[in-house]
Chain A
């Protein structure tokens, strides 16, 4: 059948002396000899038939000599009207102005004595001027079932995707997106139309984009993948998302993918906080005992592979108890925070500063050439603590006793810490404010230079 629908007067359109246009007579013949087609006009609440071609008259058993101008229901009587009857479908589309349904094929049935010929599809197209063209096509049962299933499936997908609590992306080809759901629009804070095609990639944090493109290569090659990345911040809020990507292979089309996007900002912040709490001292923010032992284990394991040794400095404050007793625990806690900051200030990049108990701190020097290097670090620490601490409106002074042990001389973290601890006690016995190196032995007490 011609693409030009007949007009409401029963004559095909498109023949008004347009140069090069198809002869209206040809269109008329095409319409008359084509598949079942009718022209109708909306009339108040009803629908009137204005034209029907030969195939339509045969299919619908229109026997009236001149059916034109009559209400559809009277020209084509239906013995058992139902929601799927084709006249009902047409009336619904026109009666409720369901413009979204115009131009689409809808399943229906005709009142035909042969059940195998009762299944049809009906399409209503707007011909302008209040006129509509109704096309009917007979369908085989299996074809209809398949098309309905496909349409149903698509409808279900859109409903599901649109209201899903996670973001959903569907590529139309390669990395180009053909669909994003409203949750993804919310997560990115970007208009939907600015996310389609390849524009969605501009919502990805520039530092995470190369990694995402690598992942997309993998996915388009047929392998599912997961990745975490940042979006470009919107309204000062940095969002982290987790993408789960699955490849989609469609016959005769370039490889594509479908992805779900979960906003994991809150979860990630919580995980970061938990990981921090597991390895850090809550008061001072330094590494805690657990993190210290892990670091020492690594240092001991790798010592034979490294050119330089590592050292442990065990630092115990002198006179801290008096501060706690005289100025209170809060003042004492603030002194500990300041001590921690000063010790951290003396550390280099590969050093670790830990607080393992009350006023006990341990500094692991990642690289030392000899005892002399460790002793120089201990001197820096004692100097840093020598400045007065202003707390509760008072300036108080502190010192520390430090014991030193080299990692290379011990087998386990416990032995290493015990050796440094022995040095610290020796320094304490000598009056504090000094360091003692364990390698110097019982007699090797090193007064502060």
Chain B
């Protein structure tokens, strides 16, 4: 089972992961000296480590995410956390969410366009 690190994390006497890194639970269990791979996987899932998608499910569009967030900084933070945990955060979405979190529309980078949109993001979405 492959999970996604929700944040920059270190396991005592074990490996460290950056936010969004893939985490092979079997490998992690081996490094931690644990035989209970399934139990470890269930524990981490319960702690909120997302199951890594194989890319089969298309993420919500940038416009859809921003529409659902509105100007709510808390919702924007949750959306930002989810995006950064996805393994391939879209830079345009991250920047726009950060503006909502900061609560300062004057710094809205929308006018700068979406030329920084990365992996799989549609730069025309706004």
A binds B: no
Residues of chain A touching chain B, judged by Cβ–Cβ distance below 8 Å, are none
Residues of chain B touching chain A, judged by Cβ–Cβ distance below 8 Å, are none
